[in-house]
Amino acid sequence: GAGVSQSPSNKVTEKGKDVELRCDPISGHTALYWYRQSLGQGLEFLIYFQGNSAPDKSGLPSDRFSAERTGGSVSTLTIQRTQQEDSAVYLCASSQQGQETQYFGPGTRLLVL
Amino acid sequence: QKEVEQDPGPLSVPEGAIVSLNCTYSNSAFQYFMWYRQYSRKGPELLMYTYSSGNKEDGRFTAQVDKSSKYISLFIRDSQPSDSATYLCATDKAAGNKLTFGGGTRVLVKP
């Protein structure tokens, strides 16, 4: 079946602009995660959705970052007033409830000029 | 200091050699341990998953966890050029929770 998909694959934006990144999880997966991968920091957790529970936002680096998950499926990560340090690969993963295996999408490569 | 430490490499080995990778972690609450493989410009894919201490073998891959020393290892036998990738260790406190990753080790297997 289809894996986790993310769009766009690449995004170039100017400093100060807002961007939206999309994630389509594997069908039936109740858990959805966003991570960020950058050269200096490696792969870092951002936010986690599990079913109808309140999301775990403990990894969001600032209030410029937000995410929502509509209908328990598709998720959008929004970065407002982008900064150059936001340049990174943003990875989405999904898993079945209570299962440890997280399946990752190919990522969105964000470059802030 | 990061919760999970991993040598960035690169680790270069000839084809057929054993690749030995390891990570150390600091939080004793970690119970689940994983190894992911990531090819260039791709997302990570799960290779091995271990709960608590012990060994696990899957084909050419063996994962070891020593919770007493907070040390996890991955061995790749009979390495192939297609094994050239970045290997990431990851840990979790509970099933289905957020993962804490090491920085990744880049491996090059030369024909």
- CB of B35 less than 8 A from some CB of A: no
Q: Which of B4, B8, B53, B7 lies closest to B26, judged by CA?
A: B4
**A6-15 residue pLDDT tens:** 999 999 999 9
Chain B residues with CB-CB distance to A48 below 8 A: 97-98
Chain B residues with CB-CB distance to A50 below 8 A: 96
**B27-36 residue pLDDT tens:** 999 999 999 9
**A58-108 residue pLDDT tens:** 999 999 999 999 887 999 999 999 999 999 999 999 998 777 789 999 999
Classify residue B70 by burial, with Cβ atoms within 10 Å: 0-12, 13-18, 19+: middle
The neighbour count for residue A96, using CB atoms within 10 Å, is: 15
How far is residue B27's CA from residue B48's CA, in Å, rounded to a whole number?
Answer: 20
Would you call B98 and A100 a contact, using CB atoms and an 8 Å cutoff? Answer: no
Cβ atoms A102, A30 nearer than 8 A? no
